[in-house]
Amino acid sequence: MNKYKELKIWEKSMILVEEVYQLMRKLPSDEKFGLISQIKRSSISIPSNIAEGAGRNSKKEFAHFLNIANGSTTELETQLILFVNLKFLLETDINNALALCKEIKNMNYALQKSLK
């Protein structure tokens, strides 16, 4: 399977990582090793797990890593909302990232279903 770069879900998740990094530039530097570090790790986990799963030898293993990517996507959504709740960002700031998260989760569910 190992052609992860051809997967639209991987491409979208890479765009999401870029979006998250742009958002993090708006935050105070004193959060660099706290929330900013955590949200960057969550975003990077999504395409990384998709790629790792695609590189595995079975559909079952791929589905497992897609599940992990889905969890990371949900974690990322929560962290984005938290930044708004803490008044670090405006809701309008995170709308694009949240829309990408939703799209990625929908793609993830569809891909997992096709693997069964």
Domains (range + CATH), the chain = 4-115 (1.20.1440.60)
Tell me what the mean pLDDT of segment 58-77 comes to.
Answer: 97
Q: Rounded to a whole number, what is the distance in angstroms from the first to the last CA of the chain?
A: 15
Q: Tell me what pLDDT residue 1 has.
A: 59
Q: Tell me what pLDDT residue 32 has.
A: 64
Instruction: Look at 30 and 18; give whichever has higher pLDDT.
Output: 18
Task: Read off the pTM.
Answer: 0.93
Instruction: Quickly count: other Cβ atoms within 10 Å of residue 75's Cβ.
Output: 18
Tell me what the mean pLDDT of segment 71-96 comes to.
Answer: 96
Residue 57 has pLDDT above 80, yes or no: yes
Residue 69 has pLDDT above 90, yes or no: yes
Q: Six-digit token pair at 36? A: 């900013």
